[in-house]
């Protein structure tokens, strides 16, 4: 099957015509596959998708996100996940199945303004996306530096199979938690390493569309290590 | 309309218009995408002497809540002229004309924007006319679709706008303010060039059916020219620096 190089596309631009499947950010118009967004086209095994270069975060199942508690009701917390939909974290997820709205106080576990790492369990857009914080590496964030980048640049920051972020982590000894919604938490015991990691991430955000970014970031990380 | 008496020569014997253009020539159009930091998407457009700034927010929560639709997102547009956009100070309160233009621009953008993907949300488009010189609705529409694309809102196609009209008994492209005031007809067209669909069509004045057909035809031609500039504005912002992305 063809594996065409990435191409720059804008909304309405025909990516390919013929026998292909339309995937993310594309639609069919007759037998043509058209982009609906500004981005880079990607054709793989007959599937056509466009990697966006701009736009907000749309919740997807199984995404890891970083959110901020904004309010709570008797049964659940409302979480701002940097999207047009607020996340919902049910109280039973934190208190367990024997949760009772009479005896348990939600604010005792998570108060307004607390940051959490959560996973999206269910998001069908008819209701607010459902979150969970039970799982490895999930839960309340106690320390670290919070950084925000454009959600469309998250894949670039992670790199192919995590290559980019691993490189930053190895060079700076920092631990970076990346939320798919563009929020990240960096924790590092060494303050120089922390600054270096932040600079590297800012560089990636600024120049996400440039080729050979990995080399550039690597250069930057090494240049300041003396 | 209806050819008001004026001392301006709209078309001279060589077929040159009052501002030096030929009959089938648009004004100079320039667009810059992503000019505002606080909006999700933005564009600044100069369409001849029209200067319009567009900001897009969204998709975001709908307020007031009762306006939200559980089946689809909604599009809200505000076209507004600043008090200093015209010769005599314009009252900043929304006028009957501005409300109408907001509505037609909204309806012209709706076929392009794929709002079904964002139920219960709203996309807000704010268009501020900083300087007006005839044909602002087409210019605002053109700028708005660039700003929507810049905001990353999925669209079937960009919408380009350009007016055609009749002045001095001749069909002309891209009617300016003088030609609008003293001319005989004005036909703004909104067009999706890739899908080949018209999304905005209004007519002020009187045209015979042959004239109308010709007007629409050159109006669509004008839109195609404007579309190339829209495309370039987006490419300049997103793809100008560096090479193809393959690292």
pLDDT digits 0-9 by tens, B179-229: 999 999 999 999 999 999 999 999 999 999 999 999 999 999 999 999 999
Q: Which of A37, A83, A90 is CA-nearest to residue A59? A: A83
Q: Class of the B29-238 domain?
A: alpha beta
The answer to whether residue B26 neighbours chain A at the CB level (below 8 Å) is no
Q: Which of A73, A55, A57 is CA-nearest to residue A65? A: A57
Name the pLDDT band for B69 (thresholds 50, 70, 90): very high
Q: Find out whether A53 and A25 touch, Cβ atoms under 8 Å.
A: no
Q: Domains in chain A, please, with CATH?
A: 7-52 (2.40.50.100), 64-140 (2.40.50.140), 145-223 (3.30.1370.10)
Average of per-residue pLDDT across A67-71:
95
pLDDT at A224 over 70: no
Q: Provide the pLDDT for residue B4.
A: 56
Which chain B residues touch A71 with a CB distance below 8 Å?
A: none
pLDDT at A22 over 60: yes
Q: Provide the pLDDT for residue A16.
A: 92
Q: Provide the pLDDT for residue B83.
A: 97
Of A6, A7, A211, the CB nearest to B242: A211
Average of per-residue pLDDT across B83-97:
96
Length of chain A as a residue count? 226
Tokens representing B44 are 């600044």
Matching residue, tokens 């089946």: B71
The full set of domain ranges for chain B reads 29-238
Query: CA torsion A100→A105→A108→A113, rounded to 10°?
Result: 110
Q: Provide the pLDDT for residue A7.
A: 86
Q: Find out whether B56 and B147 touch, Cβ atoms under 8 Å.
A: yes
Q: Provide the pLDDT for residue A226.
A: 46
Alpha helices by DSSP H, chain B: 96-109, 136-150, 177-182, 209-239
H or E stretch including B47? Answer: strand B41-47
Average of per-residue pLDDT across B4-16:
79
Q: Which of A87, A83, A130, A133 is CA-nearest to residue A109? A: A133
Q: Find out whether A27 and A34 touch, Cβ atoms under 8 Å.
A: yes
Q: In whole numbers, what is the pLDDT of chain A averaged over residues?
A: 88
Residue A140, preceding peptide bond in cis (omega within 30° of 0): no
Tell me the HSE value of B72 on the side-chain side, using a 13 A CA sphere. 8
Question: Residue A173: which region, alpha, beta or left (left: phi > 0; alpha: psi -120 to 50)?
Answer: left
Higher pLDDT, A193 or B233: B233
Tokens representing A161 are 């199979």
Q: Provide the pLDDT for residue A5.
A: 65
pLDDT at A136 over 90: no
Q: Provide the pLDDT for residue B81.
A: 97
Tokens representing B120 are 């219960």
Q: Which of B218, B203, B209, B206 is CA-nearest to residue B171? A: B218
Of A5, A13, A38, the CB nearest to B152: A38
Which chain B residues touch A11 with a CB distance below 8 Å?
A: 112, 149, 154-158
Tell me how far the alpha carbon of residue A46 is from its chain's centroid: 26
Which chain A residues touch B152 with a CB distance below 8 Å?
A: 37-38, 52-56, 152
């Amino acid at each position: 099957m063809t594996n065409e190089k990435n191409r720059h596309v804008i909304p309405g631009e025909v990516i390919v015509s013929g026998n292909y499947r339309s995937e993310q950010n594309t639609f069919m118009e007759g037998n043509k596959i058209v982009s609906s967004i500004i981005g880079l086209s990607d054709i793989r095994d007959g599937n056509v998708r466009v990697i966006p270069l701009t736009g907000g975060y749309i919740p997807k199942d199984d995404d890891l996100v970083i959110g901020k508690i904004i309010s709570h009701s008797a049964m659940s917390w409302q979480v701002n996940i940097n999207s047009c939909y607020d996340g919902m974290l049910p109280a039973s997820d934190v208190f367990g199945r024997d949760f009772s709205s009479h005896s348990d106080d939600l604010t005792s576990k998570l108060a307004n303004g607390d940051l959490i790492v959560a996973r999206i369990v269910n998001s069908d857009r008819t209701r607010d996306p459902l979150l969970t914080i039970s799982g490895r590496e999930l839960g309340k964030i106690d320390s670290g530096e919070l950084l925000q980048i454009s959600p469309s640049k998250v894949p670039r920051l992670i790199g192919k199979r995590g290559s980019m972020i691993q490189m930053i982590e190895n060079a700076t000894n920092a631990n970076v938690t990346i939320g798919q919604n563009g929020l990240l938490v960096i924790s590092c015991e060494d303050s120089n390493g922390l600054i270096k990691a932040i600079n590297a991430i800012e560089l990636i955000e600024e120049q996400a569309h440039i080729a050979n970014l990995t080399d550039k970031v690597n250069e930057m990380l090494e240049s300041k290590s003396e | 309309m209806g050819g008001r008496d004026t001392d301006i020569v709209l078309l001279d014997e060589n077929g040159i218009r009052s501002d030096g253009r030929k009959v089938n020539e648009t004004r100079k159009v320039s667009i810059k995408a992503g000019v505002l930091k606080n909006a999700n998407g933005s564009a600044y457009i100069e369409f001849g002497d029209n200067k319009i700034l567009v900001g897009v927010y969204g998709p975001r929560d709908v307020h007031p809540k009762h306006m939200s639709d559980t089946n689809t997102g909604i599009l809200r547009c505000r076209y507004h002229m600043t008090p200093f956009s015209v010769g005599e100070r314009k009252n900043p309160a929304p006028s009957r004309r501005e409300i109408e233009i907001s509505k037609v621009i909204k309806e012209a953008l709706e076929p392009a924007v794929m709002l079904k993907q964002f139920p219960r949300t709203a996309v807000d488009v704010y268009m501020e006319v900083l300087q007006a010189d005839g044909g602002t609705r087409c210019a605002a529409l053109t700028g708005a679709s660039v700003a929507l694309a810049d905001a990353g809102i999925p669209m079937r196609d960009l919408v380009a706008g350009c007016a055609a009209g009749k002045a001095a008994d001749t069909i002309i492209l891209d009617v300016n303010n003088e030609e609008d005031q003293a001319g005989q007809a004005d036909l703004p067209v909104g067009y999706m060039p890739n899908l080949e669909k018209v999304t905005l069509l209004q007519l002020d004045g009187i045209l015979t059916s042959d004239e109308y057909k010709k007007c629409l035809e050159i109006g669509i031609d004008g839109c195609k020219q404007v579309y190339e500039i829209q495309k370039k504005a987006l490419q300049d912002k997103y793809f100008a620096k560096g090479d193809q992305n393959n690292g």
